Amino acid sequence: MSKYTSFPDMMEDHNPFQDPAVTQHSSNTGYATLDLYNPFDNNTGPPPPYEATTPSAPPQPAETPPSRTTPTEPRNYGSYNSQTAVNATTAELMKKQEELEKKAKELERRERELESHSLGPGASCQNNWPPLPSFCPVGPCFYQDINVEITQRFQRIVTIMYYFWIFSTCTLLFNLISSLAMFAVNTSGGGVGLGLAILWALLFTPCSFVCWYRPVYKAFRSDSSFNFFIFFFVFFAHVVVSVVMTIGIPGWGFSGWIVTFAALSLSAPVGAIMMINAILFTAQTAMGVVMLKKVHSLYRQTDASFQKAQAEFATGVMSNQAMRQAAATVAQETFTASR
């Protein structure tokens, strides 16, 4: 076709693998493979023979026994900061658990309160105070249950006031005993004191319960402003009387300090008994001042006020059937007289 290209004859069987340059190296199997043969090496000798090597297993690390923590050994969950965070989270969870327990107790108390008041619209709880035996002809006069009727926030202060009333009653009874001891050594001047001591014990015991303990109980039970003001007025008078009891004016029926010092000159045992009574009167006065301030501080935290007390008083007067009838009678008589 062209003078520059020539093709072999089609009949000629040309095998490229029969080239002497190829057969010179492929015929010798004793040499190394092409992986180890470097044709650019300047060594004149033949390449080194191929030596097959078996792959060796990788080295095994030294086995160490796993460390196990004991139940008492604290586990290390991370750095110091992460451990502090875990402790803070645990304390927060414990605080929330305590709050949930308080709420559960409050709900249980509310449930008992609803069950106790589920007697009907016109029914009331059965009186349980004072706890008198069944054979007594006089039954209980009041219903009292601090755990049911008083909010958990004010249960402690109401309970303390109840115990304070019991302490005041016991002090008056001990005053009766000391006055009796004084009458035993001084029959001429101790009779008046003994009689007044009996009168104070019979008078102050029920009056203090009705006039200042029940108002503070009802005030914290229903957040009554009117009962708060009754309590403050009567309890302040009670504290003033306690101061007079502590002084111990002769002939007033109180075994205070003045009467005690006079009794020590007559009889040491009687003076010791009256001194104990004077100490009880002093403690009663101090506790009265503290409780008055405590109740006043709690009163300031509530929604009670003088305006609410006036409204409660007006509502109570108008809801009383006897008071309404008396007011209607007076109004009718006034209208008749004017005609």
pLDDT digits (tens, 9 = 90+) for 176-213: 999 999 998 887 777 888 999 999 999 999 999 999 99
pLDDT digits (tens, 9 = 90+) for 135-151: 888 888 888 889 888 98
Q: Measure Cα distances from 282 to 221, 241, 286 in Å.
A: 30, 12, 6
pLDDT given at position 301: 82
pLDDT at 263 over 60: yes
pLDDT digits (tens, 9 = 90+) for 108-128: 766 766 665 554 444 457 888
Q: 228 or 56: which carries more pLDDT confidence?
A: 228
Question: Long-range contacts of range 162-165, CB-CB < 8 Å, 24 or more positions apart?
Answer: 162/213, 162/217, 164/287, 164/288, 164/291, 165/208, 165/209, 165/213
**What mean pLDDT value characterizes the chain?**
77
**What pTM value is reported for the model?**
0.61
Report the share of the chain in percent with pLDDT over 90: 36
**180/267 Cα distance (integer angstroms):** 13
pLDDT given at position 247: 96
Mean pLDDT of 12-27: 60
Asked whether 309 and 299 are in contact (CB, 8 A), the reply is: no
